[in-house]
C-alpha cells in the first residue's frame, strides 16, 4: 500500500460522519461520544467527563483539529532523516490500541524500505525480561513493540513498573522505533507522541484517538481506519494467544501453591520494588559511581525474580561470572545501605 493510500486510511473523510459538529448537552456536558463510542458505557462517561473538565471538547469534535496528516508525517519523516520515534498508546481495553499500533508498525516497516532501503524486523514483547532480551537482537531500524501485558497475575506482575529511559537514549543512534502500549504502567515518560483512545465508530470501522505532544499536552485528534493486512493481524493474535496460554499455565501453578506461599511471593515483589526505587535514587560505589548502571539493575531484578545465571547471561550479553559479580555487588550495597541496622 502506498503512503498516499495509508494517509487516506488515517485521514477522516470530512463531512461524511458529522456534517456540522453536533454538541449534545447533558447537564452542561458536551457529548464527545455521540458517533465514536467505547465498548463500555463507563468509558464513554469517563472520557466525556475528562474532556469537559479540561475544557478541550473542541479538540475532540472540531475538524480543524484533525491531525491525521500530521501524525502520518511524524511516523515517516524521522525515518527519512535517519532518526527514531518513541510512541505511547494509552486507553482502556478493547478500545483499538492494538489496531493503531499495527497500523503504525506497517507504516514504519514500509517507510524503512522506501526511504532507507532496509528490511526491518518487528519485535513484540509483553514483559520486562522479554523486552530486555529482544534489545540484544536489535539491528538498525528494527521496530520494538512493547504491548500491554494481558496477564494481571503471576510471578513478577507487581514489579512491571520499570524505567527504560536510559536504554532508549543509549540506542537512539540505531534509528529504532519504539511503541509502548500503556506507558504509564511501565514508567516510560520520554515518548515523542502519545495517543489516547477516544472511541470507535463500528459502522465505518474507524478508531479515533486524541494526540498529545511529548509534554502530554493535547493538540487534536486523529482517525485510523482498520488496516487490511489480515496476515499481520493474524500473526499478532497468534503471538498474543501463545503468551496468554503460557501465562495461564504459569498462573495455574502459582495459584495452586498454599496461601502462605502466595502471600510470601506478594511480599517479595513489594520488597523488590522498594529495593529498585532505593537503588535508582541512592546508588553509589567507592569507585565514584553515583548512579546504578542499567545493566547492573537489570541483572539484580532478573536474579531476584528467579532467573538462572545462564538465562541472564544470554539476556545481558555478559559472562556468568560477571553476572554473578554484579548481582552480589548490588546485594552488598543494599545490605550496607538499605538494611543497615
123, containing H or E segment:
strand 122-125
**Who wins on pLDDT, 26 or 52?**
52
Across residues 5-14, what is the average pLDDT?
A: 52
d(CA 189, CA 187): 6
Query: For residue 96, which of 173, 205, 248, 256 has the smallest C-alpha distance?
Result: 205
Q: What percent of the chain has pLDDT over 90?
A: 33
- Residue 173 pLDDT > 70, yes or no? no
pLDDT of residue 51: 95
Instruction: Give the pLDDT band of residue 272 (cuts 50, 70, 90).
Output: confident
Instruction: Give the pLDDT band of residue 258 (cuts 50, 70, 90).
Output: very low
Lowest mean pLDDT among 60-64, 73-77, 136-140: 136-140
Extract the C-alpha cell encoding 207.
478508531
First to last CA, the chain: 65
Burial classification of residue 290, based on how many CB atoms lie within 10 Å of its CB (0-12 exposed, 13-18 middle, 19 or more buried): exposed
Whether the Cβ atoms of residue 106 and residue 232 lie closer than 8 Å to each other:
yes
Whether the Cβ atoms of residue 322 and residue 262 lie closer than 8 Å to each other:
no
Whether the Cβ atoms of residue 140 and residue 117 lie closer than 8 Å to each other:
no
Query: For residue 265, which of 155, 120, 127, 163 has the smallest C-alpha distance?
Result: 155
pLDDT of residue 341: 58
Chain segment 139-150, per-residue pLDDT in tens: 889 999 998 866
pTM for the whole thing? 0.65
Instruction: Give the pLDDT band of residue 243 (cuts 50, 70, 90).
Output: confident
Domain at 3-241: CATH code: 3.40.50
**Who wins on pLDDT, 248 or 253?**
248
Query: For residue 180, which of 169, 192, 171 has the smallest C-alpha distance?
Result: 192
Query: For residue 315, which of 170, 135, 142, 127 has the smallest C-alpha distance?
Result: 135
pLDDT of residue 263: 31
Extract the C-alpha cell encoding 263.
502471600
Instruction: Give the pLDDT band of residue 162 (cuts 50, 70, 90).
Output: very low
Domain ranges of the chain: 3-241, 258-336
Across residues 176-197, what is the average pLDDT?
A: 82
pLDDT of residue 265: 39
Chain segment 86-120, per-residue pLDDT in tens: 999 999 888 999 999 999 999 999 999 999 999 99
Amino acid at each position: 500500500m502506498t503512503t498516499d493510500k495509508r494517509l487516506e486510511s488515517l485521514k477522516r473523510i470530512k463531512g461524511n460522519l458529522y456534517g456540522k459538529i453536533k454538541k449534545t448537552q447533558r447537564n452542561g456536558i458536551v457529548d464527545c461520544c455521540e458517533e465514536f463510542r467505547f465498548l463500555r458505557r463507563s468509558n464513554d462517561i469517563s472520557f466525556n467527563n475528562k474532556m469537559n473538565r479540561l475544557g478541550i471538547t473542541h479538540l475532540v469534535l472540531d475538524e480543524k483539529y484533525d491531525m491525521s496528516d500530521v501524525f502520518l508525517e511524524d511516523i515517516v519523516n524521522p525515518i527519512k532523516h535517519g532518526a527514531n520515534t518513541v510512541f505511547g498508546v494509552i486507553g482502556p481495553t478493547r478500545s483499538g490500541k492494538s489496531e493503531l499500533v499495527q497500523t503504525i508498525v506497517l507504516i514504519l516497516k514500509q517507510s524503512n524500505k522506501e526511504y532507507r532501503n532496509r528490511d526491518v524486523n518487528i519485535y513484540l514483547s509483553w514483559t520486562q525480561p522479554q523486552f530486555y532480551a529482544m534489545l540484544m537482537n536489535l539491528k538498525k531500524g528494527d521496530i520494538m513493540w512493547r504491548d500491554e501485558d494481558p496477564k494481571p497475575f503471576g510471578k513478577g506482575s507487581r514489579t512491571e513498573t520499570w524505567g527504560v529511559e536510559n536504554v532508549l537514549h543509549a540506542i537512539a543512534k540505531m534509528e529504532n522505533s519504539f511503541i509502548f502500549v500503556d506507558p504509564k504502567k511501565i514508567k516510560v515518560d520520554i515518548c515523542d507522541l502519545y495517543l489516547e483512545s477516544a472511541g470507535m465508530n463500528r459502522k465505518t470501522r474507524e478508531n479515533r484517538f486524541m494526540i498529545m505532544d511529548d509534554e502530554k499536552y493535547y493538540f487534536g485528534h486523529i482517525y485510523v481506519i482498520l488496516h487490511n493486512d489480515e496476515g499481520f493481524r493474524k500473526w499478532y493474535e497468534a503471538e498474543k494467544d501463545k503468551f496468554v496460554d503460557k501465562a495461564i499455565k504459569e498462573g495455574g501453578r502459582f495459584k495452586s501453591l498454599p496461601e502462605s506461599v502466595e502471600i510470601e511471593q506478594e511480599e517479595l515483589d513489594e520488597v523488590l520494588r522498594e529495593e529498585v526505587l532505593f537503588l535508582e535514587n541512592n546508588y553509589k560505589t567507592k569507585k565514584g559511581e553515583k548512579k546504578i548502571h542499567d545493566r547492573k539493575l537489570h541483572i539484580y531484578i532478573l536474579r531476584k525474580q528467579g532467573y538462572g545465571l545462564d538465562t541472564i547471561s544470554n539476556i545481558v550479553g555478559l559472562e556468568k561470572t560477571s553476572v554473578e559479580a554484579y548481582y552480589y555487588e548490588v546485594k552488598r550495597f543494599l545490605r550496607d545501605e538499605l538494611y543497615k541496622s
